[in-house]
Structure formats: structure tokens, C-alpha cells
Amino acid sequence: MMGFYILVGLISLISMVVSNQLKSKFKKYSKIQLRNGMSGAEIAEKMLADNGIFDVKVISTPGMLTDHYNPQNKTVNLSEGVYNQRNAAAAAVAAHEVGHAVQHATAYSYLKMRSQLVPVVSVSSKFSQWLVFGGLILGVASGLGFYVAVAGLVLMAMATLFSFITLPVEYDASNRALAWLKNKNIVSREEYSGSEDALKWAARTYLVAALGSLAMLIYWGLQILGNRD
């Protein structure tokens, strides 16, 4: 189990470093005020209109970095620090979330795949490790213990797949956002540089999560299949 604790500690450390760097970047670029004076909400609404999307609402949601697009009710949810603010960080986040709305409107394949996996992942996140632990306790050398552990491993693999499918979804949304911000001259060169850097660090949080999920999957896979021998 020592290897497990070392792995968890390493993943947590890397995640914390990236998360802190992301917060630092957003704090930095929140000080770069947009020359056009547009708020995050106004930027989101303009990007939606420019893409011919008129059935999506832009609303404010409590918290920090709680921004997201909800495909169920077609809403772009912007945190309080983005909805009303008029800076490079707010522009980046607002445009990124609209990027997801554009993906939805254009039936972007990876977004569809991720949406289809949501029900499975909601189950796997709750039960995968319990099944793995249960199988190991029962003993994977025995038939029952092995199959219980493998069931947990399969659910864990689905969650890992979900995290990797999330990567192209997030990177594509950022690319759409940055292209629109640049092509429509929404931001200046300095503002664009800040928006780009902020979104890069946001994407890295998803990359760390995906690699962490893969590392855990490999670790438990080796534990289960190794003990089977």
C-alpha cells in the first residue's frame, strides 16, 4: 500500500501546483482591463450571436472558477468574477464556455462521446474503488474476489476514458475561443496573450487529472492482475 500512498501524494502535489498556478494566472490577467470595456457576459453573448446561436442563455453562477456550459438547459454559466468583469481573464473564460456551446450546436463528436459517458462515470466514480478494494479483500486469487476487482477496474477504466475524451473537448473549446477573440478583434495583442496563457493553464488541470486517472488505473491493474498469478 505504500506505493499507493506515494502515487496519491504525487498526483495531489502536481494537481495542487497546477491549480495554484492557474489561480495565479487568472489573478494576474484579471488586472489587464479590456480596451473595449466589454464584460464577460457581453463577450459571451456576442460570441453566441456571431456563431448564430440564439437559444442559449448567459447567466451568473456563484463561486470562483465555477464557469461551465450546461447542454441540458442550454446555459453558459459564468462565475461572478467573470460575468461582470471586463478583463483578459474574464474574456478568456467567457469565450471558452461559449466554445462548448458552439461544440454542442455543431454536434462536435468528442463532446457527444463525453455526454454519452456521463451516466456511466457518475456510477463508476462512486463504486469503482469500493469494488477494487472489496475484490482485494476477498482475495483476487479466488474466483469471486478476482471478478469483483475486475468489475471495479472496468468502471475505473471508463472514468479514465472519460477524462481523456475531455481533453480534446477542452482544448478545442479554447482554440475556438482564442480564434474568435483574435479574428473579431475583441482583444488587443497584450489582452490576447493573457487570455491564451490563462486558457493554457486551465487546460493543464484537465491534463493532470487525466494522467492521474491513468496512473491509478495502471497501479490497480497491476495489483489485481499481479496477485492473480
Q: So which residues are the catalytic ones?
A: 97
Give me 186's grid cell.
475583441
In this structure, are residues 131 and 152 in contact, taking their beta carbons and an 8 Å threshold? yes
Angle between helices 143-183 and 109-138 in degrees, nearest 10: 150
How many CB atoms neighbour CB 37 within 10 A? 8
Query: Which of 89, 43, 83 lies closest to 61 in space, CA to CA?
Result: 83
Separation of alpha carbons 55 and 77, rounded Å: 14
Strands 75-79 and 57-61 turn out to be parallel
